[in-house]
Structure 1
Amino acid sequence: MADSRDQFAVGGMSCSFCAESIRKAYDRTDGVEDADVSLAHEEVRVRYDDDRVSEIELKDTLRDLGYTIRDPDKRERFREQQAELEAGKRRLALAGGASAVTAGLMLWMIVVVGRFESDSLAMDLVALGLALGTMFGPGRYILEKAINSLRRGIFNQHVLLEAGAFGGLLGGLLGLTVFPAFPTVHFFAVSVFVTTYHVLSGYTSLLVRTRASRAVQDLLELRPDTARRVTDDGVEEVPVADLEEGDRVRIKPGESVPVDGAVREGESTVDESVATGESVPEEKTPGDEVIGGSVNETGTLLVEVTATGDDAFLNRVAREIEAARATKPGIVRLADRVLRYFVPGVLLIAALSFLFWLVVPAVWSGGPFGTGPNVQRGAFAALAVLVLGYPCALGMATPLALVRGGGAAARRGVLLRSADAFQLLPDIDRVLLDKTGTITAGEPTVAEIASFGDDRTDTDVLATAATAEAFSEHPLADAVLECAGERDVAYDDPDAFDSVTGTGVRATIDGDEALVGKPDWLASAGVDVSSAAGDLERLRDRGLTVSGVARDGDLIGLLGIGDEIKDDAAATVRRLRDAGIAPVMITGDDERTARAVADAVGIDRVLADVLPDEKRDEIRRLQAAGHRVAMVGDGINDAPALTQADVGIAIGAGTDVAIESADVVLVGERLGGVVDAYEIGRESYRKTRQNLLTAFAFNGIGVAAATTGLVHPVFAMIAMVLSVSAVLANSFAGQLLSGDGVNASFAVRDDSRAAD
């Protein structure tokens, strides 16, 4: 046995039924040992014996089921998804137009003509054309999937839909040819409406998944396409893909770093928040490492390439996002679980109903069921079962709860992007919070000023520091100047200025030498800093970066610069505890700074110096221990963890990659939306369960009544409308009275697979 493994990117999956159909097909394929289908990531991983089945046969199995195999290149895959989305939009436009015309015909008959049965052959033929056009036009792909599923003995939503559509078509044809009492137009309408509904569901699901795939696409686009390679012959601009380890590239101020590498010449500050999430840039000198995707800020660097291709940082993060999606614990929806038995059950009941009215009256002549085979009643029974059995209200139960919850969430600045989030939020018992940009504002600010000397004030210290830093481009200098502006502290340009990379600045102010920078650097320049040891240690214990300010050889003060804690951070932590959820801080920052922030907001457990893949691994460990985990973050380094978590919550002011990797987005920077999302999710899930119970009741009672053959298919359709109306009324009861507009609900961007 030659054990092989392959992974395919699959197009066309829209719900858990699709994943189940693929899994069943591979289970019945000789030579396949195991198949793992990731609906969220639209991928299939297959382990097989390549002596018994080939890779080509595995791909053909997917194609036979009606799915496509996408290009393994991520950028090309994204373009294919866009093309599929355009095709889905065209199908929806055609099917939607046919439904509108069909609805018009039905209303004309009921309102104007005043009867169910049509007496116009022209109207019957128009309805027939609309049914055939919808089923074999925009709905043809559904038919192909149903046929290929049946060939493998798989009963899924495509099979049930086509049974209902063909049942309506058959009923209409019987009305045209055999039974004049049959409501021809209404039967044909069934075929149009159920097909259109499914086309709409498929398009919505594809739209959501295409948006989700942008996370990896945006991540890969952070890196420049070209780089300046330095050779013995000069400088040449080459594609980043052509760079090899050992090549040297020149990076100018303001440019993105194109590769992972080591600095060989030059000094600069580099914003590495892409990797660390921390707001204070790192000083880079020869020998230091730089990360592809970070931003060079002040100086020119010559960097030697140390990692390319799959080993580069951004590509590693992209793989971690994909791995997190593939291994993220899924949930089995109540609707999906029941529908696995509901689909074959409805088909069986429809067939048995027809046989019953065909056989029992003939065998039990003179009994309560009449005398002789009753073909018309059997046809009515079978067709009404298929109409009432199609789970329209069932499919809308979760989306409508999403709409309701989305409206309430949008008013509170919370965008709920995933249907799963509604079901998982009520079960969350651990929330992992990133520090920078999540608990804190993500921008360095002057948090405290300590002045020394009887005749000096904080204003004197700030004015000296601002004047010395006036020409500096360092982010910490920006914090000093911003603080001076906020406090209306006047400062001038220095008489002379010199920046000492990695340590501080030296300036001349009214003939005095002023130094602003690291206390150790001031000490090496002859400034006595021993008297400030207590204040220095106190500021550092608060997690602040400390800059000393000296003038004419004397230390006049200290500046404590840090990332300001958000106003609602402590209150949010208290609300989480009150809800029975344990908060945990997880950050790439150092232990001392992280602990200071955690103590300030009331978090007991802190995980510091954590890399992106380690955040993801910690979440996996908690999930393996049986916890439901939410992750809150805002940076690219948080994306794998946001994807791995049961519920990923992104701060809306964060990076696009983090937002696209999350299930919930908090608009702006308010952290309290975490608890708001939990409360709304809990209420919405309660509504979802009520909706499902209502839908199952309508379907169950309707199917049972339809077996009698006394339910006119028109009334079957009316019952479908009533079931949807009941679900709708329950979903929005109280919301409309409270002024919570439905328009706000468009914040919900995923009705996902529940729509099927």
Structure 2
Amino acid sequence: MTPNDTGHTSHHNHGQHGPHEHHAHEHGSGHASHPHRHADHGGEHAGHGDHTAMVEDFKKRFWISLIISIPIVLFSPMIQEVFGLHEKLHFPGHFLLLFGLSSVVYFYGGWPFLKGLWDEVTDKAPGMMTLIGVAVTSAYAYSSAVVFGLPGKMFFWELVTLIDIMLLGHWIEMKSVMGAGKALDQLAALMPDTAHRLKEDGEVEDVPVSELKSRDRLLIKPGEKVPADAVIVKGQTSVNESMLTGESKPIEKTEGDTVIGGSINGEGSLTIEVKHTEEESFLSGVIKLVQDAQASKSKTQNLANRAAFWLTVIALGLGAVTLFVWLGLTEKDFAFAMERTVTVMVITCPHALGLAVPLVVAVSTAIAARNGLLIRNRTAFEEARNTQAIVFDKTGTLTQGEFGITDVLVFDNDIKENELVSYAASIEQHSEHAIAKGVVKDSKEKRDVDDFKAIPGKGAQGTVQGKSIKVVSPGYLREKKINIKEHDARIQELGNQGKTVVFVLIDDRLKGAIALADIIRPESKEAVAQLKKMGIRCIMLTGDKKEVAEYVAREIGLDEVIAEVLPDQKASTIKGIQNRGLITAMTGDGVNDAPALAQADVGIAVGAGTDVAIETADIILVKSNPNDVASIIGLAKTTYNKMIQNLIWATGYNIVAIPAAAGVLYPFGIVLSPAVGAIFMSASTVICALNAKMLKI
């Protein structure tokens, strides 16, 4: 028999089986709709432990069935005739022994498939388990009838070898499925089991992470994992967050900075205050998003489910046709016709089809999470591969959202650029203005200041190393009638780029100017270039002035700029782009851009940091790196390609296998047994699993 789906029962019905439940594998046919329920495993399985138990169960059933199959094969009349053992092994009642041993293999080894058959029939969702169950039951019932007097041939040895191969195929396949889902387990394993909690008297106690509460203070030693999302209250270090955000470079952290639970502390010792407990942590949020995404249905999965259902119907129909053709149009006996029928049903099993898409979903979602790309909506993620236009918010997405020095103009040869910046930064370090902070941030040297004073609305002044230093606006120069005509062209050019210019006076003489702007992220140009290579139109949407927006667009290489748009107009602007017939993705910070993210075909929130609960975004990118936008669209394309490859493999081999199983090649001396059919079917499933695991970002 070729209950090709023999082992599948366990799968299908197993829906409960870990692979399925844990990875949201929705097996073909009707299975997608109901969790697998495995008889012996009772209840719903979820989680790695259930997977392991299922793998062990198949392993145990396989070995026990295989051992019992050895005497069945030896006592089978056909095998005895081939090897001349008929006289030596023939004894009164040996057919009853054959029947008894085969019954054990049928009921014990075949139980997952029989249970699967029952579940599918009661759910009115015939699928793989139905095919396998019908195949093995037909073979067992017919052979048993022969033992008790019906004229014909027994093929118990074909039956038990088929069950053995199906159990083995299931065992191997489930191990592959477990491997596909291990990335999620690796995420869960990031969190340590215990934490060093500081008591009020300063003593340290080790407690389970599950007992931590908000505002608890913890000690983190060098090299240890951070046990909870927290704020540093004492200490300085570098932290490795690569498994959480995909950022390979250690990040410097000091007092007041946040640390993410699961990240690895570097060289410094820290005291931290718990901000989020285990259930509320960033890591828990990531794991939940991954699980939800893996469990969500996609258009491709629905297609696979329909294909699997029809393949089941076709298999049952072809099995019946095969039986009647061999009986009615040839001189072959019922045993031969039955064997061909069983082989057809086994080889046509849609198990690979049921796993083709869910396995790719599990792998792609986990890979994305490891790289800081969190998928909330799988349908939108699939749609991302068709993106024709991508709209970027400017501030905080393409730019850093903070001022920095872009140009330094020196008007007097007796001073150097770095010296001019140093004098300006020395004055500006006493100011809280965003522009002042930009000057201070980009200066390598700051000096002591005496007699600091603000010049209301115009700048600030003070004494640095005995010199009077003023950092002022153009308005101050106009008020004091300081002539800058000889520098007009250069100043005008900076103004046209939307940059803010401040002037530096030393002892009331104009020495130079510093231009500042919202700094363009270094990755933005590269990301736009990658997206344009994919044929995607890159558009910037901003409330900023047209001059500023056009300068950023030129620097980065954008195709189009839509500037001076008010926050409440962004969603309608996205709709206008969609009305051009373009499938549109929107990329923003997930807060101010929420309506636009919701309006877009694909909403991508960038720079979510530790806040993963962005309700309006379909995809959340943990880092503020525009390259990740290109990465997630590239992953969507690759994921879809893998799904299609698996669907083609899962169905395509049937074009050759079904006719061969039905006996079309019999005139040429080629006949497939049920066991060979089971090998083909199991091989296609394992290939789909391995193909999914080869997915790379």
Contact 1:409 1:415 in 2 (8 A): yes
**Does residue 446 of the first structure (1) align with residue 405 of the second (2)?**
yes
Task: Look up the match of 2:330.
Answer: 368
**Distance between the aligned counterparts of 1:663 and 1:116, measured in 2?**
61
SS in 1 for 2:498: coil
1:99-118 alignment, distance < 5 Å: 99-105=58-64
Instruction: Quote the Cα distance in structure 2 between the aligned partners of 1:713 and 1:727.
Output: 21
Change (3 A) 1:86 1:113: closer
CA contact (8 A) 1:437 1:634 kept: yes
Matched, 1:723 2:681: no
Shift of 1:346: 2.1
- For 2:160, give the aligned amino acid: T
1:468 aligns with 2:431: no
SS of corresponding position for 1:484: coil
Distance 2:500 2:75 in 1: 80
Deviations 1:702-746 (A, max 9, x none): 3444445964332121111343466678x59xxxxxxxxx78x5x
1:541 and 2:492 equivalent?
no
What is the identity, as a one-letter code, of the residue corresponding to 1:170? Answer: T
Larger radius of gyration: 2
Q: Which deviates more from structure 2 when the two are superposed, residues 716-725 or residues 492-501?
A: 492-501
> Do the aligned residues in 1 keep the contact of 2:500 with 2:515 (CA within 8 Å)?
yes
Query: Aligned-pair distance for 1:506?
Result: 4.8
Q: Which residue of 2 aligns with 1:594?
A: 549
Contact 1:91/1:199 (<8 A) preserved: no
TM-fit CA distance, 1:447 = 0.8
Alignment of 1:27-176 (within 5 A): 87-105=46-64, 125=104, 128-129=107-108, 132=111, 146=120, 149-150=123-124, 155=125, 159-164=126-131, 166-167=133-134, 170=137, 174=141
Structure 1 position 696, deviation (Å): 1.8
Are residues 618 and 484 of structure 1, via their aligned partners in 2, closer, same or farther at CA, if it must alter by over 3 Å?
same
Identity value in percent: 24
Query: Separation in 1 of the partners of 2:530 and 2:47?
Result: 43
Structure 2: give runs of 5+ residues left out of the alignment: 1-20, 37-42, 77-96, 146-153, 188-230, 232-288, 665-670
Instruction: Report whether the alignment pairs 1:559 with 2:532.
Output: no
- Summarize deviations over 1:263-283 as a string: whole Å, max 9, x none: xxxxxxxxxxxxxxxxxxxxx
SS in structure 2 opposite 1:87? Answer: coil
TM-score, normalization by structure 1: 0.54
Q: CA deviation at 1:110?
A: 8.7
Q: Distance in 2 between matches of 1:94 and 1:16?
A: 17
Q: Deviations over 1:93-136 (max 9, x none)?
A: 33222233344457768999988989696797477446547986
- Distance in 2 separating the partners of 1:407 and 1:513: 60
Letter in 2 for 1:713: P
Distance change >3 Å, CA 426–CA 181, structure 1 → 2: same
Provide structure 1 residue ranges, at least 5 long, that are not aligned to the other structure. Answer: 1-11, 23-38, 40-61, 68-83, 212-254, 256-321, 733-741, 749-756
Report the CA distance shift for 1:578/1:380 in structure 2 as closer, same or farther (over 3 A).
same
The secondary structure found in structure 2 opposite 1:446 is strand
How do 1:349-364 residues align onto structure 2 when only pairs under 5 Å count? 349-350=315-316, 353-354=319-320, 357=323, 364=328
Give 2:160's match in structure 1, choosing from 184, 201, 215.
Answer: 184
Distance 1:667 1:131 in 2: 50
Q: 1:368: Cα distance to partner? A: 0.7
Q: CA contact under 8 A between 1:355 and 1:378: conserved in structure 2?
A: no
Question: Displacement of 1:427 after TM fit?
Answer: 3.9
* Mapped contact 1:585–1:598 kept (Cα < 8 A): yes
2:30, 2:309 within 8 Å by CA — same for their partners in 1? no
- Classify the secondary structure of the residue corresponding to 1:583: strand
2:560 alignment partner in structure 1: 605
Match of 2:195 in 1: none
Correspondence list, 1:216-227, <5 A: none
- For 1:166, the aligned partner's letter is G
8 Å Cα contact 2:604/2:618 also seen in 1: yes
Deviation for aligned residue 1:698 = 1.2
Work out the CA distance in 2 between the residues paired with 1:16 and 1:114.
36
Cα distance in structure 1, aligned partners of 2:336 and 2:684: 24
* 1:328-379 deviation line (CA, Å, top 9, x unaligned): xx9743x74365254144235415624763x6677x4xx41546xx3x5565
For 1:289-688, list aligned pairs within 5 A.
Answer: 332-333=299-300, 336-337=302-303, 339-350=305-316, 353-354=319-320, 357=323, 364=328, 367-368=329-330, 370=332, 374=334, 376=335, 380-381=339-340, 383-395=342-354, 397=356, 427-452=386-411, 455-472=414-431, 476-485=435-444, 490-497=445-452, 505-509=460-464, 514-516=469-471, 518-520=473-475, 522=476, 528=482, 536-550=491-505, 556-567=511-522, 569-570=524-525, 573-574=528-529, 576-577=531-532, 579-610=534-565, 615=570, 617-633=572-588, 636-637=591-592, 645=600, 657=612, 661=617, 669=625, 671=627
CA distance in 2, matches of 1:658, 1:116: 65
| Aligned 1:191-230 pairs, distance under 5 A | none
Tell me, in whole angstroms, the C-alpha distance in 1 between the residues paired with 2:619 and 2:431.
41
Find the aligned partners of 1:112 and 1:607 in 2 and give their Cα distance: 79
Task: Read off the aligned partner of 2:316 and give its amino acid letter.
Answer: A
Distance 1:578 1:725, change over 3 A: same
Instruction: Work out the CA distance in 2 between the residues paired with 1:184 and 1:379.
Output: 15
**What is the identity, as a one-letter code, of the residue corresponding to 1:343?**
F
**Closer, same or farther: CA 393–419 of 1 in aligned 2, 3 Å:** farther
Alignment-mate amino acid for residue 497 of structure 2: R
The corresponding residue for 1:712 is 673
How many angstroms does 1:542 deviate by? Answer: 1.7
Q: Distance in 1 between matches of 2:474 and 2:118?
A: 74
- Kindly indicate whether the alpha-carbon contact (under 8 Å) linking 1:350 and 1:381 is maintained by their aligned counterparts in 2: no
How has the CA–CA distance of structure 1 residues 378 and 630 changed in structure 2, closer, same or farther, with 3 Å as cutoff?
A: farther
Measure the CA separation in 1 of the matches of 2:463 and 2:74: 97
What amino acid does structure 2 have at the position aligned with 1:715?
A: V
Contact 1:633 1:650 in 2 (8 A): yes
2-structure distance, mates of 1:512, 1:116: 108
Query: Which letter does structure 2 place at the counterpart of 1:462?
Result: V
Asked if the contact 1:527/1:555 (under 8 Å) is kept, the reply is no
1:459 shift after superposition: 3.7
- Superposed counterparts of 1:229-240, under 5 Å: none
Secondary structure class of the residue paired with 2:391 = strand
Q: Secondary structure of 2:442's partner?
A: helix
Change (3 A) 1:611 1:123: farther
Q: Which amino acid in the other structure matches residue 719 of structure 1?
A: F
Residues 414 and 657 (structure 1 numbering): CA distance in 2 closer, same or farther, change over 3 Å?
closer
Q: Give the 3 Å change call, closer, same or farther, for CA 341–675 of structure 1 in structure 2.
A: closer
CA shift at 1:479, angstroms?
3.0
CA distance in 1, matches of 2:494, 2:591: 29
Give, in whole Å, the separation in 1 of the partners of 2:51 and 2:379.
25
CA RMSD of aligned residues (A): 6.1
Contact 1:651 1:666 in 2 (8 A): yes
